[in-house]
Structure 1
Amino acid sequence: METLSIILLCVFIPVTVLLSICLLCIHSYWKRKWKSITKENDIEAKGDIKIGNQSKENVKHTLRFQGRLEDAQRGPSHQDPTFVADEKLGGRKKKQKVEESKLFEFDPPIGNKNLGNTCFFNSSLQALYFTKFFEDALSLLKVSAPNFQNLKLTKSVLELLEKKNVNHTQELRSVLNAVRNINNQFGRGTQEDSYELLNTLLGGILDELQNGDRTCKPIDVDSGVNGISLKNLFTGIFITIYVYDSCNDVEVDFEEFTTLSIPIADNIDQNFKKLPHRGLQTISSEDPRFDIEKGLAVLTQIEDYEESDLPCRVCNIEGTGKAYRRMLVFTPPPVLVIHIDRFKMNDFNRLTKNAQRLKYPRIFNMAKFCSVANTELSTNSLNYELYAVVVHSGALGGGHYYAYVNTTRMHDVEKWQEHLKRSPLDLEKLKSNVEEFLRKRHEFQDDSGQTEVCKVKDSWFYVSDESVCSASVDEVISHKDAYILFYEVH
């Protein structure tokens, strides 16, 4: 009996231990399995993407400003173009990781104190506050330009941008004084033209960078640090084409521009498609639909002369046919500023205002105003989105300027990089190559395309000096007193 008990104990104990071990293993396995299933469900609920054994979260990537400067010094190869900054990029922008487009979100605008009839000044500044990469370009110049402290206007504008979220009246006054040093009509306590102020401010900054000071070399405005060139941000290139019947010669000239001033056009020449020479052709031959497109059509229309009045400057032969001239956009800038020319002198030599309401789109395509001579352009790269409007309300004597700004836009990284990293052009070499290209006989082409629809919800604000409130896109589009329109590559 004792022997049997010993045998049973010897068998029972190992079996019990073995079963316990098996149960523990099974319990551990199902516990791990349950955690894995729960984790996968959580990932799917958050909208994450499963890649192999890793999950890729749709999160913001924070890149500190100092780190961005270090990347700029190491070179563009160290930067990841798929990630964007959440720390003071170009003002007050917050960005989000997406595939090719990124969401730009600015903080709501802060008003500017009126320093005495300075609404013309404040309204243009609001548009610049919400211009992508404007502050970035100045900030990067600050650390790269040895003579930055001597650039009075550029330095004062950057100081204003850096303090615009707090009490910035002193910085505002410093910018106005710096502009007045360039043109003394500003800052005298009188109401002035907002468009002229904008041209003076932008032109003054570019001149300072180009000329430098007497002790330092000029700053290369064409090759911005980290690919952000202040010049490339606003500067486009016109091409003027001359075509001659008798000799079939083609001649071109180039000229830079930072803004486009268009007339209020009631009627346009409907024969603009009947081109006597391919050299005068645009990328798209779509009809202008909106009023500002009609104004651009007038600006870029074909002019014809008798060859006896405009002889060929290539072969110096005075022909008997027609000479044609057309000015088109050769290289559009990423920021396109369009001025509606409302103020004209009447027959009595008095300045008057044309208060006609003009229709302008939220998004439009510049292809119908760009020359085919630039073979690097295509219709799908020329969509522009409205992001700010400067308004002049009232009559000439007692009018008022204010602005509308959009704080939420999409950002196409590839398109902006193409513009901002554009290399300086050798215009003489380009002139020769373009003339040779346009002299060749080619079939007419039409790269027409549909304008893209804005895919992000608007966040528009009305800003009148220190007064700020939200606005609807319907209130902004086709405003009856729109004066300056700010578009950016969409």
Structure 2
Amino acid sequence: MNSIIQCLNNTEPLVKELVQFDSSRRHFNHTSRFRGRIAQEVIASFRNMWSGQMKIYSVRELKSLMGEVKDIFKGSAHQDSNEFLIILLEHLHEDLNMPAEVATLEGAVEETGEKAWGEFRRKNCSIIQRLFYGQHKSTVTCDECGHESATFEQFFNLFVPIPSQRNAVTLQDCIKSYMSGERISGWVCPNCKVERNATKKFDISRLPPVLVIALKRFAQEDESWLHKKENLVSYPLEDLDMIPFTVRGSEQRCRVYDLYAMSTHSGTTQSGHYRAICKSLSDNRWYMFDDQTVNQLSASSVRNNSEVYILFYIAQTDS
């Protein structure tokens, strides 16, 4: 939890907007399950961590609330930081969700995903949605007749596999493997009218301002125990070009990204430790956050960390 909170605490546009909220109820969705309490605790954490008034700040109240969200977070047992991130962002979004006033979707193009995005925005509008949410295009192609069927869906976390053929791979290799799709069976082809084998492929139709990429370090192959993949995954600190993974010809406001934070994992699936490595908003330097300990790092030492698990990228403003 500490690792993820530090990564979010160094997400500049998120922190800048949330810490400006006053104490009034107008900023929060009081029809959500927790009536704005999770958002309020996250904001309190950000404010205290940037106040300069304390060396150590405990997110005890947020920890208690997250235990109410899901039982696994009640104790002190080792849990998955990516699962915590997903659940926290979902509930932050719910607490801050103020649906957009979309009067009409007339003219929105269905084939590009514009209409699907408009329908999503009818019910979802928050700083979490604006920063973290992107859109996938999923295309299923029938092996028999070649008919293609496309659907669009939202994402705020790319959970990419690590190709197991090599010990050392690039982040781009992992994204490519994710996008290349999978073989599926029993798909009812709209053209053939019967079940067929097919291929399901992903492309990104809308890139978000903040791109979160998690590596599938923990895998269960066949019927074996869950194990951790120790492959070295190299990743760029700057200029991650995501255009090769987008729908061909699509217009993207966000294109090229710079790394600003990561959550790392050392140890095994049963016993391990998470740390955060973040680029500070105040001095633009890299730091390692290890619970109550903070150490400055050189940019060269941040490159290709063998323990990297979740990467946080922000779009370049001129991209």
TM-score between both structures, scaled by the size of structure 2: 0.78
User: Which of the numbers 136, 140, 145 marks the counterpart of 2:16?
Assistant: 136
CA contact 2:169–2:232 (8 Å) conserved in 1: no
CA RMSD, 1 decimal? 3.3
Distance 2:232 2:140 in 1: 35
Distance 1:172 1:351 in 2: 30
* Aligned counterpart, 1:312: 189
* Aligned counterpart, 1:160: 45
Distance 1:170 1:476 in 2: 25
Structure 1 residues 305 and 181 mapped into 2: Cα distance closer, same or farther (>3 Å)?
closer
CA contact 1:407–1:460 (8 Å) conserved in 2: yes
Give unpaired runs (5+ residues) of structure 1.
1-120, 213-218, 269-288, 410-456
Distance 1:207 1:168 in 2: 31
Distance 1:478 1:355 in 2: 13
Aligned length: 286
Q: Do structure 1's residue 295 and structure 2's residue 121 form an aligned pair?
A: no
Q: Do structure 1's residue 202 and structure 2's residue 89 form an aligned pair?
A: yes
The secondary structure found in structure 1 opposite 2:234 is coil
Q: Do structure 1's residue 365 and structure 2's residue 241 form an aligned pair?
A: yes
Q: Per-residue CA shift, 1:34-72, capped at 9, x if unaligned?
A: xxxxxxxxxxxxxxxxxxxxxxxxxxxxxxxxxxxxxxx
The secondary structure found in structure 1 opposite 2:232 is coil
Distance 1:487 1:385 in 2: 5
Q: Do structure 1's residue 331 and structure 2's residue 210 form an aligned pair?
A: no
Once the 2 structures are TM-superposed, how far is the Cα of residue 140 of structure 1 from its aligned partner? 5.6
What residue identity is the alignment partner of 2:292? Answer: E
Distance 2:170 2:44 in 1: 38
CA contact 2:263–2:275 (8 Å) conserved in 1: yes
Alignment of 1:31-180 (within 5 A): 121-139=1-19, 144-145=26-27, 150-164=35-49, 165=51, 166-167=53-54, 172-180=59-67
Once the 2 structures are TM-superposed, how far is the Cα of residue 211 of structure 1 from its aligned partner? 9.2
Structure 1 residues 332 and 154 mapped into 2: Cα distance closer, same or farther (>3 Å)?
same
CA contact 2:143–2:198 (8 Å) conserved in 1: yes
CA contact 2:67–2:73 (8 Å) conserved in 1: yes
Once the 2 structures are TM-superposed, how far is the Cα of residue 135 of structure 1 from its aligned partner? 2.3
CA contact 1:311–1:323 (8 Å) conserved in 2: no
The secondary structure found in structure 2 opposite 1:150 is coil
Once the 2 structures are TM-superposed, how far is the Cα of residue 230 of structure 1 from its aligned partner? 2.5
Distance 1:245 1:355 in 2: 35
Structure 1 residues 147 and 481 mapped into 2: Cα distance closer, same or farther (>3 Å)?
closer
Distance 1:178 1:124 in 2: 16
What residue identity is the alignment partner of 1:357? Answer: L
CA contact 1:290–1:361 (8 Å) conserved in 2: no
* Aligned counterpart, 1:93: none
Once the 2 structures are TM-superposed, how far is the Cα of residue 266 of structure 1 from its aligned partner? 3.6
Once the 2 structures are TM-superposed, how far is the Cα of residue 408 of structure 1 from its aligned partner? 5.8
CA contact 1:392–1:402 (8 Å) conserved in 2: yes
The secondary structure found in structure 2 opposite 1:330 is strand
The secondary structure found in structure 2 opposite 1:153 is helix
Structure 1 residues 231 and 140 mapped into 2: Cα distance closer, same or farther (>3 Å)?
farther
User: Which of the numbers 114, 137, 157 marks the counterpart of 1:259?
Assistant: 157
CA contact 2:260–2:314 (8 Å) conserved in 1: yes
Structure 1 residues 133 and 408 mapped into 2: Cα distance closer, same or farther (>3 Å)?
closer
* Aligned counterpart, 1:473: 299
Structure 1 residues 396 and 146 mapped into 2: Cα distance closer, same or farther (>3 Å)?
closer
What residue identity is the alignment partner of 1:406? Answer: K
The secondary structure found in structure 2 opposite 1:298 is helix
Give unpaired runs (5+ residues) of structure 2.
100-120
Structure index of larger Rg: 1
Q: Per-residue CA shift, 1:382-429, capped at 9, x if unaligned?
A: 1111111111112334421111111269xxxxxxxxxxxxxxxxxxxx
The secondary structure found in structure 2 opposite 1:188 is coil
Structure 1 residues 300 and 331 mapped into 2: Cα distance closer, same or farther (>3 Å)?
same
Once the 2 structures are TM-superposed, how far is the Cα of residue 294 of structure 1 from its aligned partner? 1.0
Distance 2:184 2:45 in 1: 50
User: Which of the numbers 447, 453, 463 marks the counterpart of 2:289?
Assistant: 463
What residue identity is the alignment partner of 1:460? Answer: W
CA contact 1:390–1:482 (8 Å) conserved in 2: yes
Q: Do structure 1's residue 250 and structure 2's residue 126 form an aligned pair?
A: no
CA contact 1:151–1:208 (8 Å) conserved in 2: yes
Q: Do structure 1's residue 235 and structure 2's residue 138 form an aligned pair?
A: no
* Aligned counterpart, 1:216: none
Distance 1:319 1:124 in 2: 43
TM-score between both structures, scaled by the size of structure 1: 0.52
What residue identity is the alignment partner of 2:294? Answer: V
Structure 1 residues 365 and 267 mapped into 2: Cα distance closer, same or farther (>3 Å)?
farther
Structure 1 residues 323 and 388 mapped into 2: Cα distance closer, same or farther (>3 Å)?
same
Q: Per-residue CA shift, 1:346-395, capped at 9, x if unaligned?
A: 5564222122211111131111211126x2228xx411111111111123
CA contact 2:10–2:281 (8 Å) conserved in 1: no
Alignment of 1:333-482 (within 5 A): 333-345=208-220, 349-363=224-238, 364-372=240-248, 375-377=250-252, 381-407=254-280, 459-482=285-308
What residue identity is the alignment partner of 1:371? Answer: V
The secondary structure found in structure 1 opposite 2:66 is helix
Distance 1:393 1:346 in 2: 21
Structure 1 residues 179 and 319 mapped into 2: Cα distance closer, same or farther (>3 Å)?
closer
Distance 1:303 1:147 in 2: 38
The secondary structure found in structure 1 opposite 2:71 is coil
Q: Per-residue CA shift, 1:224-246, capped at 9, x if unaligned?
A: 5xxxx331111111110133477
Structure 1 residues 304 and 396 mapped into 2: Cα distance closer, same or farther (>3 Å)?
closer
Distance 2:304 2:146 in 1: 43
